[in-house]
Amino acid sequence: MVLRDHFIKAAKDYFYLAQKGYPPRGFLQLVGDRYELTSLERTMLYRGIAPGIIAKKRKQKLISQDAIQNQELFVDGFNVILTISAYLQGLPLFLSNDGFLRDASMMRGKIQMTDKIRESLFLLFDFIRNQKVVSVHFYFDQKVEIHYQITEAIKEFPLWKSGILTILSSNQVDRDLLEITNGIVCTSDSGIIDRSKSPFFDLAFFVLQQQFHPQIFSFNDILNETV
């Protein structure tokens, strides 16, 4: 990913204001307009930079790949699948300053069943079958129209027949994941991370690392003077 000098300066200004405790939506436009950022660059700032104290707390909840062995995983299905799909589509991915992988796509409310989604499922299950996990529970927002198609697609994979996978459709995925008290949650949703006491595994990041070993831009590389 090639970053404009204006974007790097904007990121530092954005982080400075975040550190002061101002609400991010209040100064995102201010910083974006000053540096003439694109909508994609503005989304990257919003999703990629948190105040230092919050970023540190989130990092402390992240666990390694080795730590998921013999554990139960509780997966924010659309969050993980769409992050992988964004990479397959060539859309920008980045490591936020809290250590979690996120994307800057605007497809969250316009999800369709595509070949990239199916490929994302293949990569996801290829990763899972090589891990010694006890079980994997996928949570899907049933308000999203394709949740039924996703469910049927998952049942086509051999791993489904192993019995370690379960699929749960819910109107309150965030709430359900916040109720997990014994297991590892897989999501990059900051609202869940901040309110949960569970450990977190960045499943999308490790799926992509296993298959592609991508060089992913990290906000900490440009905020290292102040983080």
123-174 pLDDT tens trace: 999 999 999 999 999 999 998 888 899 999 999 999 998 999 999 999 999 9
What confidence tens digit (pLDDT) does each residue in 82-119 have?
Answer: 999 999 999 889 999 999 999 987 665 567 778 999 99
Distances from the Cα of 208 to the Cα of 3, 154, 195, 212, angstroms: 22, 19, 26, 6
Using the predicted structure, report yes or no on whether residue 203 has a pLDDT greater than 50: yes
159 contacts: CB under 8 Å, gap ≥ 6: 125, 128, 129, 165
Please give the span between the terminal C-alpha atoms of the chain, in angstroms, as a whole number.
22
* pLDDT of 106: 65
Average pLDDT of the residues in 26-52: 95
**Would you place residue 225 in the very low, low, confident or very high pLDDT band (cuts 50, 70, 90)?**
very low
DSSP 19-70: HTT--HHHHHHHHHHHTT--HHHHHHHHHH---HHHHHHHHHHB--SGGGTT
Using the predicted structure, report yes or no on whether residue 77 has a pLDDT greater than 50: yes
* pLDDT of 112: 78
Using the predicted structure, report yes or no on whether residue 59 has a pLDDT greater than 70: yes
Task: Return mean pLDDT, the chain.
Answer: 93
- Between 189 and 3, whose confidence is greater? 189
Cβ-in-10-Å burial (0-12, 13-18, 19+) of 115 comes to exposed
What confidence tens digit (pLDDT) does each residue in 62-72 have?
Answer: 999 999 999 99
Half-sphere exposure of 221 (CA within 13 A, CB side): 8
Using the predicted structure, report yes or no on whether residue 226 has a pLDDT greater than 50: no
- Between 192 and 104, whose confidence is greater? 192
Average pLDDT of the residues in 6-11: 95
